[in-house]
Structure 1
Amino acid sequence: MPHHATPQHPPAARNFLSRRRVVAACAAVASLALLLAAAPSTEDPNRRRAYLMGPLPGGTHEETVVAAAVAGSFAGASSSSLSPAEAPLPSLGEVGTVCLQTNLSGGIEPTPAPSMFLVPSPSPAENFDDGSMEEPERLEIKVPIAARFDISSSNGIACHGNRVESENCFLKEIIFSLTASNKRLLILQGNPPKDPAHFLQEPISSGLPTMSSDVNGEHGMDRKPVLPPRPEAPLWSTAADEELINAKKEIINAPLTSDDPDLYAPLFWNVSMFKRSYELMERLLKVFIYHDGAKPIFHSPELKGIYASEGWFMKLMETNQNFVVRDSNRAHLFYLPYSSRQLEHNLYVPGSNTIEPLSIFVKNYIDMISTKYPYWNRTKGADHFFVACHDWGPYTTKLHDELRKNTIKALCNADLSEGVFIHGKDVSLPETFLRAPRRPLRDIGGRPVAQRTILAFFAGQMHGRVRPVLLKYWGDKDSDMRIYSRLPHRITRRKNYVQHMKSSKYCICPMGYEVNSPRIVEAIYYECVPVIIADNFVLPFDGALNWSAFSVVVPERDVPKLKEVLLAIPESRYITLQSNVKRVQKHFLWHPNPIKYDIFHMILHSVWFSRVNQMQIE
């Protein structure tokens, strides 16, 4: 099968102020901020707000502080009608990137910052439009806002001198303070890993962890939020919508959990919120499944091979009695039960080098259900989802704008660079290679740490951009690095592929034609620490699971230093990683009859959570 070419995106134009212009602009910003602080406010005087800010890219410490003050003050205000006395503070939970459009005379025109609870933004290919190309006389400062919280005695957050503490265990330094008669604006440096708002905004992993972050055991992910597009309101509201809104409020205020024997806290970004969200899913979630469509493309799951994830989910979803309903009025989600694997198998013309017939088929299907039923049109597809593990799954949506932009796409090919996967709305689907559908748990497990004598192992076909480089530097050249294109017969006589994974400390998981690889889940099955080499890959369940607790992510550029990276990981750290692999394994296992927290429920929870995350709270 031919590899679908990656679309090329035009580079984003970015302008930077000269040092002299920055100083002048910041002086103007400071003056405006002081005017705002002195202005009267209609806010409750007992509520004080704190803004957690990130550094200004390319700016000095002072420039960041001053720009942050105005960004926080004017977020949510219209630039066309902005008045210092009337500019409202944004509502609790706002997050995004505030653009301060600064002209040469020092004028400031901040743009609104959307709420963090909106669906997250598309990839950069679709989401960069700052007007700088049309208005070259304007320059910009971009201020990333990481999160924000209220300071009050009622929510467990307290001020201590020049520091702030909260029950969510983040401690950040105050770098700027603006005091008025009835409100205090605190600008803070940092990004809290356990802030409730941070959990609801699924983090982006476009920047891979550095070597040092992996070695030291820190998560290291680039978790800066992105500007989310505001979803359109549904044409009419339903009782299910109200349930989702109430569920979101409960998740935000989830009670702290530390002693659940079924959930190991270090595996999660916020185990308390995950547990509350999961409990609400079990209690509330209802899914309507369209019965239209004929086999084999519809309702015909394939249960073995590398595309088994979409087939197993379809099988278990369509036979589920807890979540599936026939009454569409009760549904929170609508499942589109087609198979991307069957699309390729039945509609692709070998040698044609085009997947247009597949895309046309999907477009016609969506047009049909949107004409036959009212459900799609109510939200323009925002409460619909499909599950696709074939590499071409994302591209089959390109002829239908609402399907591509609004629908929740659960994809194995979760590539940020392609311009299709929308991080924080779409779901990264684990790719599972099942050899025996009747016994999906066969061969699960591996040797204990003391018997894992191989440092690193990989064997596979040499396609894609990473694997040939891996073979060039490490192929059959180092006894510690067992890297092969195909396992030689002299090797397989003593130890086959699975036995190698069970005997290795680290299992190398490089991307193939696409960023995803079944080896990641295979490594977890065989209790081998995954080493993931795939830039721009959003890891499965990344909104809930902290992958740095049980895997190592290496940038593609560091393949020549791969052994150095692995040897730099202390033995104690490796033992922790391997132990956590065994603990996280339960979340990636298929069961003929699904059990709590297994892969079926984790996928469904990711879709549920995405939909909850879209709901707007006043």
Structure 2
Amino acid sequence: MAIFYFSFILCFSFFSSSLSIHSISITDSASLYLSPTILFPDYQKMLKSFRIYMYTPPKPFSFTSPVESLFFSSLKNSPFVTQDPEDAHLFFVPFPSDLSTRSIARVIRDLRMEFPYWNRTLGADHFYVSCAGLGYESDRNLVELKKNSVQISCFPAPDGKFVPHKDITLPPPANTHATQAPANRTARYRGFVKYNGVKESALINDLRSASDFLMETEPSDEKTLVDRFANSEFCLFEYGADTSGIGEALRFGCLPVVITDRPIKDLPLMDVLRWQEIAAFVGSTVNTNSGLKGVKRVLDRTCKDDTCEGMRRLGVAASHHLLWNEKPEPYDPFHMVVYELWLRRHTIRYARSEWI
């Protein structure tokens, strides 16, 4: 026990000195991270040794999603990229967001014929970025890409196009550039609901009648949006709709409440964060009989014995890992997604004489 505690102290001390935005206690660190004693030293090992080989696309291209583009540009300019494929742990297959499945199959076919690396593991040490995601196709190249390679998707991932424990999601981009909440935070609203006006559950419709819940499709400006996050106890998001504000809600002390009918398997950084410690999850159909009273009971249970303050404190700390920077910083979304790739680097490799 003494050895474990000493190891935890060393790991946490390094982490605290590395994060300039927010420092947390040892107890909070143990609550926020799945394996804090492994995370911090393993992260340092990743920085020193992780190498990724990027295949050169046939012609220059750009991604349609800002978060895909940001990850791609950050990776290209990072020290993780190696020009020596023999030195690589993983291989990145770049292709544009709007490329057809037939064209993607040709990309994999060409890699199979030109390089030996795909055939060593049938793509298990390869990854690609696609917000649209790949479905299950009959073409051999697409089957291997979908089944074996790591897909980096946007959150939330399209239905049926995400494989838990293999695939990864990118934290959504921020809607504001504010770095901190207004001083003297006071919750004027019980809950704030930012909805897209397209897909609405019965629960969302019930909340319209609540005077202490504020609902908006899109606040008029960035300052107003920050004010909503900073002055609400809870921020409600429908899973599958507009969840882009989750990281910002955490930053400004608004406890995220995700409305969903099923367990979520594609939350960002699921290999790192204990999401149940920083967010609440409410079924959209469970409370339809009791409507507004039902959801309020859930929120009351969430905050029983002042647990909400602890969750908000952890949420502020977690937000550093979920809010993108144009230039990557330690432990930010880019580095944490790369860390999730690092965790997936262990693949079966065949002896050289058996390569095909």
TM-score by length of 2: 0.81
Cα displacement string for residues 83-132 of structure 1 (whole angstroms, at most 9, x for unaligned residues): xxxxxxxxxxxxxxxxxxxxxxxxxxxxxxxxxxxxxxxxxxxxxxxxxx
Q: Percent same amino acid at aligned positions? A: 24
Listed one character per residue, the Cα deviations across residues 248-302 of structure 1 (whole Å, up to 9, x for unaligned) are xxxxxxx832351426332101101112321221121100011123233xxx255
> Could you tell me which residue of structure 2 aligns to residue 521 of structure 1?
247
**Residue 320 of structure 2: SS of its match in structure 1?**
helix
Question: Of residues 501, 504, 522 in structure 1, which corresponds to 2:229?
Answer: 501
CA contact (8 A) 2:53 2:84 kept: yes
Question: Greater Rg, structure 1 or structure 2?
Answer: 1
The number of residue pairs the alignment matches comes to 324
- Contact 1:397 1:403 (C-alpha < 8 Å) held by counterparts: no
Q: For residue 354 of structure 2, what is the aligned residue in structure 1? A: none
Deviation at 1:468, TM superposition (A): 3.5
Quick check: which one's helix share is greater? 2
Equivalent pair of 1:387/1:411 in contact (CA under 8 Å): yes
1:455 to 187, 190, 196: 190
- In structure 2, relative to structure 1, the CA distance for the partners of 1:453 and 1:339 (3 Å cut) is farther
Contact 1:506 1:529 in 2 (8 A): yes
Return the letter of the residue paired with 2:264: F
Name the SS of the counterpart of 2:129 in structure 1: strand
CA distance in 2, matches of 1:398, 1:280: 39
Amino acid at match of 2:211: S
Q: Tell me, in whole angstroms, the C-alpha distance in 2 between the residues paired with 1:380 and 1:506.
A: 45
AA partner of residue 233 (structure 2)? K
**Residues 529 and 293 of structure 1: is their aligned pair in 2 closer, same or farther, counting only changes over 3 Å?**
farther
* Superimposed CA distance per residue, residues 450-492 of structure 1 (whole angstroms, 9 cap, x where no aligned partner): 512211111222333xx232332111x11222234466xxxx5
Task: Work out which structure has the larger RCO, using CA pairs closer than 8 Å and 6 or more positions apart in sequence.
Answer: 2
The correspondence of residues 173-322 of structure 1 with structure 2, limited to 5 A, is: 256-259=7-10, 260-261=12-13, 262=15, 264-296=29-61, 300-301=62-63, 307-320=65-78, 322=79
CA distance in 1, matches of 2:202, 2:325: 37
* 1:444 equivalent in structure 2: 179
CA distance in 2 between partners of 1:396 and 1:364 (Å): 16
Q: Which amino acid aligns with 1:601?
A: H
> Contact (CA 8 Å) 1:417, 1:536: kept in 2 or not?
no
Structure 2 CA distance for partners of 1:308 and 1:396, relative to 1, 3 Å: farther
Could you tell me which of 293, 296, 308 is aligned with 1:563? 296
Please tell me the residue identity of whatever aligns with 1:338.
Answer: F
Q: 1:397 to 1:499 in 2, by over 3 A?
A: farther
Residue 558 of structure 1 aligns to a residue whose secondary structure is coil
Q: Distance in 1 between matches of 2:270 and 2:183?
A: 27
Cα distance change on mapping 1:313 and 1:396 into 2, 3 Å:
farther
C-alpha displacement at 1:430, in angstroms?
1.5
Q: Secondary structure at the match of 1:588?
A: coil
Distance 2:58 2:137 in 1: 17
Helix, strand or coil: the match of 1:591? coil
Q: Secondary structure at the match of 1:556?
A: coil
Q: Identify unmatched segments of 5+ residues in structure 2.
A: 17-28, 350-356
User: Deviations along 1:43-78, whole A, 9 cap, x unmatched?
Assistant: xxxxxxxxxxxxxxxxxxxxxxxxxxxxxxxxxxxx
Say if 2:51 and 2:80, in contact at 8 Å, map to a contact too.
yes
Q: Distance in 2 between matches of 1:362 and 1:576?
A: 46
Judged with a 3 Å threshold, the aligned counterparts in structure 2 of structure 1 residues 589 and 519 are, in CA distance, closer, same or farther, namely: closer
The CA distance in 2 between the partners of 1:447 and 1:572, in whole Å, is 22
User: What does the per-residue CA deviation read over 1:152-193, in whole Å, with 9 as the maximum and x for residues that have no partner?
Assistant: xxxx7xxxxxxxxx9989xxxxxxxxxxxxxxxxxxxxxxxx
Give the structure 1 partner of residue 150 of structure 2: 408
Q: Give the Cα separation in 1 of the matches to 2:238 and 2:146.
A: 27
Partners of 1:295 and 1:397 lie apart in 2 by 26
What is the aligned partner in structure 1 of residue 207 from structure 2? 474
Task: Render the CA deviation track for 1:348-369: whole Å, top value 9, x for unaligned.
Answer: xxxxxxxxxx222211211122
Deviates further, 529-538 or 575-584:
529-538
Relative to structure 1, is the Cα distance of residues 471 and 266 closer, same or farther in structure 2, using a 3 angstrom cutoff? closer
Paired residue type of 1:394 = L
Q: Is the 8 A contact 2:136 2:143 kept in 1?
A: no
Deviation for aligned residue 1:511: 1.8
CA shift, 1:317, in A, is 0.5
SS in structure 1 at match of 2:178: coil
- Aligned: 1:423 with 2:164: yes
Query: Are residues 546 and 463 of structure 1, via their aligned partners in 2, closer, same or farther at CA, if it must alter by over 3 Å?
Result: same
User: Which SS does the other structure have where 2:53 is aligned?
Assistant: strand
Question: Is 1:330 matched up with 2:87?
Answer: yes
CA contact (8 A) 2:151 2:167 kept: yes
Is 1:553 matched with 2:281?
Answer: yes
The residue matched to 1:557 in structure 2 has which SS? coil
CA distance in 2 between counterparts of 1:394 and 1:168 reads 42
Q: Is the 8 A contact 2:203 2:284 kept in 1?
A: no
Distance 2:9 2:158 in 1: 34
Does structure 2 conserve the Cα–Cα contact (< 8 Å) formed by 1:453 and 1:504?
yes
Q: 1:597 to 1:413 in 2, by over 3 A?
A: closer
SS of the residue corresponding to residue 411 of structure 1 reads strand
C-alpha contact (below 8 Å) 1:416/1:423 kept by paired residues: no
TM superposition shift of 1:600:
0.6
Letter in 1 for 2:95: Y
Partners of 1:508 and 1:168 in 2: how far apart? 38
Indicate conservation of the 8 Å contact 2:202/2:285, yes or no.
no
Q: Distance in 2 between the 1:506 and 1:293 partners? A: 47
Residue type matched to 2:240 in 1?
Answer: G
- Distance 1:339-1:580 versus aligned 2 partners, 3 A rule: farther
What is aligned with 2:328? 594
> What secondary structure is seen at the aligned counterpart in 2 of 1:501?
helix
Partner AA of 1:258 in structure 2: I
Residues of 1 paired with 2:155 and 2:105: CA distance? 20
Is the contact made by 1:458 and 1:483 (CA closer than 8 Å) also made in structure 2? yes
What is the aligned-residue RMSD (CA, Å)? 2.9
Structure 2 equivalent of residue 360 of structure 1: 102
Provide the rounded CA distance (Å) in 2 between the counterparts of 1:403 and 1:410. Answer: 12
- Structure-2 change in CA distance of 1:326 and 1:396 (3 Å): farther
Rounded Cα–Cα distance in structure 1 between residues aligned with 2:305 and 2:192 = 18
